[in-house]
Amino acid sequence: MSQPFTLVVGTKRFSSWSLRPWLLLKMAGAAFDEVEIALRQPDTKQRILDWSPSGKVPLLVHGSLRIWDSLAICEYLAELFPGLWPEDRTVRAQARSVAAEMHSGFMPLRQNCPMDIGAVTPMAEPLPEVAADIARIQALWADCRSRFGQGGPFLFGRFSVADAMYAPVVTRFRTYAIPLDAGSEAYCRAVEALPAMREWAGGVSPG
């Protein structure tokens, strides 16, 4: 791209929404500048507002354009870098549905198992609503990989926006030591093995 990208993210340890477009940019091979804003600080809100009209991260700056929603950023990047969605129209519709379900759903899991990379705090007995989210995610992963993932280890074979949307869930499952079925475990390992995921985790400050 002729114009540079700047991605504004929150603290890597905690910001699940920031991880998604950051990972997608890395997987697309795009060069970008990164601004990391410390979350949970007295000046966090103002520092984010200096960049983002929504007062939230992440934010992508591309020339004069500012995009302040994770899925919107991912959709924009997919238009600039072919291959970030499945090529087949019907499969692409499935992948978009999977990504949108993550974008708008699984609130019990989010609220009770916030992202905290590097921490290990096993969850003895998930609340019923959290257990339901975990079961739905594993069923969704299994369905995608069995129907569309034969060409690779990810949800639709090769890495896509859908995988970027679920990457923070992989970290949550590890933080809270969630028992997984064999297929889900294999998927988590494939995501964790990505050099970009290792790079993100390597940038997490201990706390």
Domain layout of the chain by residue ranges:
5-82, 89-196
pLDDT digit string, tens, across residues 142-157: 999 999 988 899 999 9
pLDDT at residue 124 in the model: 87
CB neighbour list of residue 88: distance below 8 Å, 6 or more residues apart: none
Give the per-residue pLDDT at 203.
Answer: 77
Tell me, rounded to whole angstroms, the distance of Cα 115 from its chain centroid. 11
Residue 207 pLDDT? 55
3-state secondary structure the chain: CCCCEEEEEECCCCCHHHHHHHHHHHHHCCCEEEEEECCCCCCHHHHHHCCCCCCCCCEEEECCEEECCHHHHHHHHHHHCCCCCCCCHHHHHHHHHHHHHHHHCCHHHHHHCCCCCCCCCCCCCCCHHHHHHHHHHHHHHHHHHHHHCCCCCECEEECCHHHHHHHHHHHHHHHCCCCCCHHHHHHHHHHHCCHHHHHHHHCCCCC
Task: Let me know if the fold of 5-82 is the same as that of 89-196.
Answer: no
The pLDDT tens digits for 75-97 are 999 999 999 999 999 999 999 99
- CA gap 109, 140 in Å, rounded: 15
What digits encode the pLDDT tens for the residues 66-77? 999 999 999 999
What band does 206 get if pLDDT is binned at 50, 70 and 90? low
- pLDDT reading at 1 higher than 60: no
- Closest by CA to 155, choosing from 77, 95, 65, is 95
pLDDT value of residue 56: 93
**Of 204 and 131, which is predicted with more confidence?**
131
Candidates 3.40.1260.10, 3.40.30.10, 3.40.50.1370, 1.10.8.60; correct CATH number of 5-82? 3.40.30.10
Residue 177: CB partners within 8 Å, gap ≥ 6? 120, 121, 122, 123
- State how far the Cα of 80 lies from the Cα of 108, in Å rounded to an integer: 34
pLDDT digits (tens, 9 = 90+) for 8-63: 999 999 999 999 999 999 999 999 999 999 999 999 999 999 999 899 999 999 99
For residues 32 and 172, give the distance between their C-alpha atoms in angstroms, rounded to a whole number. 26
For domain 89-196, the CATH class is mainly alpha
